[in-house]
A and B are shown apart, each in its own frame.
Chain A
Amino acid sequence: MIRRASILLLASMTLASNARAQTWRTIEVSRQLHDTNAITAHLDYAAGHLDLKAAAGNTLYHSSLRYDAERTEPVAQFDSATRVLNLGVHLRGMHMSSGDEKSDAGSMHAELSARVPMDLSLELGAVEADLQLGGLRLTHLTVRSGAAVVTGRFDQPNREQLRTMTLQVGAAHLKLLDVANSRVSRIIAEVGAGGLSIDLGGALSGDVDITATLAVGGLELNVAPDAGVFIEERSFIGGFEKDGFVKKGDGWYTPNYDAAAKHVRVHLHAFLGALSLTRVQK
């Protein structure tokens, strides 16, 4: 009896583990570039692996998706009237995540035109993402990540002035490299319980203002030594290490602040989170 019960239990558990059927599909969507007017692009990717880079040639966008049609739904839509592009994958309703989620979570390779000015927003769920943002013409960039592990790079200079970069991190880890190449002037960072790393490597095109709100998570900021740094802090328990800073009035300054050609100003609101500042030339 016990043996039979064991067999039954094993069969049931095996069956239960196979209960969620999978229907893997691929879809490739693209659109030729007909003009270079600005567009607004939303990329919403719920789960899986994401690669994003600048498109070569005469392409407005190109998306290559592998997805499980049982639980996800691809989105690829460009409204030529409003010039809004929606790309990505939505989850269908609720689904129980399994332990092997990442191994069978699908993938997306997206390319966006390097010839079109673009407001780009990325909504990332349980995603491993590699964002090659260099060479695009970004005017605004928003990255919202829930439980993602994201690495973004500006290996090449952004071909527009990036007016605002908004980074919202839930329980995710978001790492942005060579951000100075983005030609950003204002960064808004909101960190919940995750980690945000901003490397302002590359060539700063001007002063940068950073407003950072940290709940529990941390912000790692790397600024080249030749740039002057000012930090205005409002914190509860968290904060930042003040070694190497001089307090003047309402904020903390690096000694080279007045002499520096480029400045990074940080307005820090920290509850339990902490700002970690490094000064490494890259």
Chain B
Amino acid sequence: MRTQYARAATSHVVALALLAIVAGGTKLFAQASPSRISVDSLAKVLAGLRESSDSAWIPAASKFTIGDSTVAANRTITGPVAVAGTLNVRGTIAGDAVSYGGDVIVHQGGAVRGNAYAINGKVTLDGGTVDGDTRALGGDLRQVSAAGGTVARSKTSAMAHALALAGGWLAVLVIVGIGVLIFASTNLDAVADALDRGFGKALLAGVATQIALAPALALLCVGLVLTILGALLVPFAIVAYVIAAAGLVTLGYLAIARNTGRTLLDADAPADGAHRAAALRTMVYGLIVLMLPWFIAGALSWSPRLELIARIFAVSLTWVAATAGLGAAVVSRGGVRRAAAPATERALNTSSWATPTPVSGVTAARRPTPYTASVPK
């Protein structure tokens, strides 16, 4: 049953990802041609454009008149004069001249005392003069970026972006996981064992580690500085420390993912990395489950309130997983130290005890006592 759920979840994620790809490549909003401009559509387009700091010069839609317009010769009009169409200037505009979906043409004898702007058109000086700048904006005017650098996206684009981000993180984690399975599977096993033995303990250890990270780094730096010569190593130590901490968090998170996947698939732990495919399968399933809230949050980006709730849940889940994983990684010293019980079990399971004694002899050793978790009677 759990496997079915996980498979369904996988299918949904794939479907959402493909949907996002299609949505990302589809032009959903066509630009209105000048002949079909309505006041509402103009207001909508201009409102979007005016959000962008590079388009702050664009007047409000209420300033525009629909259709071509001409400023007659020998006539002076106070600007801005804005038209959704072509603006012919034969007289004088005391201010800016703006066109949307058409050109601003300043004819012989015509003058614009301010600037001449054309949106989806061009500014032509046909013998006339413009005191200020001429500016013609064209191309893809659908999406605009808000002032301050934050990107204001359409809902579809925002959803695609959020899903893509989650998908990207999932891909990166799977790639890192494959690397860990190849090069550090024993460390991963040990961290996973530590989580198995006590999730709560690992979580507490993770919280304590997070609290201690900054002071420990400070102590390290002070210690290096005190050794005078070691002061030169401070920058390297900081980088190494950060990399080590990130490595522990990643190792722990992957161990959590693996345990989650194992629980989901109801699979036994692969012995000593002998079944890497099985280990990869459980890890991928676990990562999908752990990342699922992020995909859900991304898919809910059309509703800010639901998205916020989903994101809070996703952040909480990720924090708990990362913290417990970090704690387990610290408790197991990065997977170097394994607890006695599993180690003993593994020792009993291996065939090393069945090998004949070398001719040269070996130092006598006590055979480990099998570990039993049962309560003494």
Contact = CB atoms under 8 A, between A and B. Distances in A.
Interface of A: 1-2, 4-5, 7-9, 11-16, 18-19, 21, 23-32, 34, 66, 69-70, 73-74, 76, 78, 92-93
Contacts of A5: 10, 174, 280-281, 284
Chain B facing A: main interface SS? helix
A19 B157 CA distance: 9
Contacts, number: 136
A12 B21 CA distance: 9
B54 A69 contact: yes
A8 B133 CA distance: 51
A24 B141 CA distance: 8
Interface stretch (B158-166, B180-188, B249-257, B337-345): B158-166
A18 to B, nearest CB: 5
Given A25-B140, A70-B151, 19 more contacts: A5-B174, A5-B280, A5-B281, A5-B284, A8-B167, A9-B174, A11-B17, A13-B167, A14-B21, A18-B164, A19-B165, A21-B157, A23-B140, A23-B145, A24-B140, A69-B52, A73-B53, A74-B54, A76-B133
A76 B143 CA distance: 21
17 contacts: A5-B10, A5-B174, A9-B171, A12-B170, A15-B164, A16-B167, A16-B168, A18-B21, A18-B25, A19-B161, A19-B164, A23-B140, A25-B137, A27-B54, A27-B138, A29-B134, A70-B151
A30 B151 CA distance: 28
B24 A21 contact: yes
A114 B122 CA distance: 24
Contacts of A23: 139-140, 142-145
Which of B24, B151, B288 has most A Cβ within 10 Å? B151
Contacts of B277: 2
A26 B170 contact: no
Interface string B105-130: 00000000000000000110100011
Contact of B138 (A9, A13, A25): A25
A108 B163 CA distance: 33
A92 B145 CA distance: 9
Nearest to B283: A5
Contacts of B288: 8
Contacts of B174: 5, 9
B132 interface: yes
A265 B240 CA distance: 47
Contacts of B18: 11
A19 B172 CA distance: 14
Given A2-B280, A70-B151, A15 B138 contact: no
B7 interface: yes
Interface residues of B, number: 55
A30 B133 contact: yes
B140 A15 contact: no
A93 B14 CA distance: 32
B201 interface: no
Which of A8, A25, A93 has most B Cβ within 10 Å? A8
Nearest to B54: A73
Nearest to B125: A32
B235 interface: no
Nearest to A5: B284
Contacts of A2: 277, 280-281
B24 to A, nearest CB: 5
Given A9-B174, A12-B171, A26 B137 contact: yes
Contact of A8 (B17, B131, B175): B17
Given A15-B164, A19-B165, A25 B141 contact: yes
A210 to B, nearest CB: 35
A78 B10 CA distance: 56
Contact of B164 (A16, A29, A34): A16
A25 B139 contact: yes
Contacts of A26: 136-139
B149 interface: yes
Nearest to B168: A16
Given A7-B14, A8-B170, A16-B164, A32 B129 contact: yes
Nearest to A29: B135
A134 to B, nearest CB: 26
A15 B170 CA distance: 11
A19 B164 CA distance: 6
B167 to A, nearest CB: 3
B153 interface: yes
A26 B13 CA distance: 37
Nearest to A75: B54
A21 B153 contact: yes
Contact of A11 (B21, B130, B143): B21
B20 interface: yes
A78 B133 CA distance: 8
A13 B168 contact: yes
A49 B137 CA distance: 19
B179 to A, nearest CB: 14
Contacts of B52: 69
A34 B133 CA distance: 12
